[in-house]
Chains A and B, each alone.
Chain A
Amino acid sequence: MKFIDEYRDAEGAQQLAREIHRVTTKPWMLMEICGGQTHAIVKFGIDELFLEKITLIHGPGCPVCVTPLEIIDQALEIAARPNVIFASFGDMLRVPGSTTDLLSLKAKGGDVRMVYSPLDAVKLAEQNPAREIVFFGVGFETTAPATAMAVFQAAQKKLKNFSMLVSHVLVPPAMEALLSSPDCRVQGFLAAGHVCAVMGFEEYIPITKKYRVPVVVTGFEPLDILQGVLMAVRQLESGRTEVENQYSRAVRREGNQPARELIWKVFQVVSRKWHGIGEIPQSGLGLRDEFAAFDAGKKFGVAKHRVEESSECQSGLVLQGLIKPRECPAFGTKCTPEHPLGATMVSSEGACAAYYRYRRQCDTITAK
């Protein structure tokens, strides 16, 4: 496919890798905050090209993985109601709540449906006027224009049977939370290209200044990631800390203006608990008061339980980049994609799932 295949060119990748080796004089640690990039890095073995020179660590870049147990439990509570059709992206269905997951609930007769787009959930509401349609609104800034549009359309169409359980999260506050931690080892960031396609990259400028870290807006294919790494390393080697844009074919400095307007028409910034990290101030999106009628949490009066997260699952440390998935004692033994302890193992973009899928065999071969 155009704009994908050519960015997987092996010769170009080797050329970039050689250049990275040439300019690197000391070890550096970079973090990507995007599950799509994490998977590409592990799948194509990009991190293994620079062992002992550049460490690529994986941040909280998977919205499914950072959704707190409380909200998964609320989703399960709503989805179990008899008149509800609970619509969700496929990624959320197998994420374990305190006792079960949405897919198991569906197997027991709950009407849980996987949809490709939030706009499909609005169509479901139009087609099923006697049923309550609830959409699970998770995602980073990338997804927010589409979920905002769904709420906006539902309001325009005066749909009384559509609501949304919103658990949107924002990337820059999470970066700041990681950088403020005394354990932080990150020296530079690859910023998620599609988040920036929506939001632009001006909000990263204060972060580069305050924490003295380079931020490179980066795409998702191997050549993109390698060029992103090269740009970040060049900055680190020369002592610069700026925002640079590797993914300029899709990202403009100001982002997508109509999409941003749509987001702020429907949502407002709220504090949000991140699974494995905890409460981060001003790090999420919630519905504005004008759209309170579409708030599924309020509509169904679900309680906000405080839930203790599993002590066996170390996904919190993985999400903060403090350990790699294979350092968790449960990895691949007690915790597998079939029987996950946490979302990082089950989400298609979770870091644990990436290592399980692409690196487990290497371990077996090495062990032999």
Chain B
Amino acid sequence: MCLAIPGKIVSISGNEPLARAGKVDFGGILKEASLACVPEAKIGDYVIVHVGFALSVVDEAEAQKIFEYLKQMDELGELKEASP
């Protein structure tokens, strides 16, 4: 029910804040979504969309953190293995 998926904004329409909408590309499938609650979203941004409504702009830097963490864990593991 709270399923929301990330998609890339390809176009934006509507001048009034509450009428702001856009075409969002979900892995090749284009769907219209309301962008009324993400005024900061620009073309090319990824937004998390639930029932035709964008809830949040994906923060690309935050999205990488888990992979940086995994890499650090990996390096720590190698260090431990290397130490006598």
- Is A130 among interface residues, defined by CB-CB distance under 8 A? no
Q: Given A194-B50, A249-B62, do A1 and B26 touch, yes or no (CB 8 Å)? A: yes
19 A-B residue pairs with CB within 8 Å:
A3-B58, A7-B66, A91-B1, A118-B52, A119-B34, A138-B1, A139-B1, A140-B1, A142-B50, A146-B50, A149-B36, A153-B18, A192-B2, A195-B2, A197-B56, A248-B62, A249-B58, A249-B63, A349-B3
- Taking a contact as CB atoms under 8 Å apart, the answer to whether A145 and B53 are in contact is yes
Please, what's the 1-or-0 string for A107-141, where 1 marks a CB less than 8 Å from any CB in chain B?
Answer: 00000000011111000000000000000001110
B65 close to A250 (CB less than 8 A): no
Are the CB atoms of B1 and A35 closer together than 8 Å? yes
- Contact indicator B2/A142 (Cβ below 8 Å): yes
Q: Is B43 located at the chain interface by the 8 A CB criterion?
A: no
Given contacts A1-B6, A63-B2, 12 further A-B contacts (CB under 8 A): A1-B27, A2-B8, A12-B67, A36-B3, A89-B1, A118-B51, A143-B51, A145-B55, A197-B55, A227-B69, A248-B62, A347-B1
B12 within 8 A of A: no
Residue from A119, A120, A194 in contact with B48 in the complex, judged by beta carbons closer than 8 Å: A194
A64 interface residue (CB < 8 Å to B): yes
Residues of chain B in range 32-84 having any CB-CB distance to chain A below 8 Å: 34, 36-39, 46, 48, 50-53, 55-56, 58-60, 62-63, 65-67, 69-70, 73-74
Q: How large is the interface on B (under 10, 10 to 19, 20 to 34, 35 or more residues)?
A: 35 or more
In order of increasing CB-CB distance, the 5 nearest A-B pairs are: A117-B52, A249-B63, A146-B53, A1-B27, A142-B2
A258 within 8 A of partner (CB)? yes
B residues near A187, Cβ cutoff 8 Å: none
Partner of A198, one of B27, B34, B55: B55
* Number of residue pairs A-B, CB distance < 8 angstroms: 124
Contact yes or no, B1 A152, CB < 8 A: no
Find A256's partner among B8, B56, B60, B73 (CB 8 Å cutoff): B56
Which residues from chain A contact B27 at a C-beta distance below 8 Å?
Answer: 1
Which residues from A are CB-within-8-Å of B10?
Answer: none
> How far, in Å, is A113 (CB) from chain B's closest CB?
15
Kindly state the separation between the CA atoms of A3 and B48 in the bound complex, as whole angstroms: 10
A36 to B4, CA, bound (A): 9
- Of the residues A36, A116, A227, contact of B51 by C-beta under 8 Å: A116
CA distance A7 to B76 in the complex (A): 21
Which of B48, B66, B67 has the most C-beta atoms of chain A within 10 angstroms of its own C-beta? Answer: B66
Q: Is the CB of B2 within 8 A of A145?
A: no
The contact string, 1 if C-beta is below 8 Å from chain A, for chain B 1-26, is 11111101000000001100000001
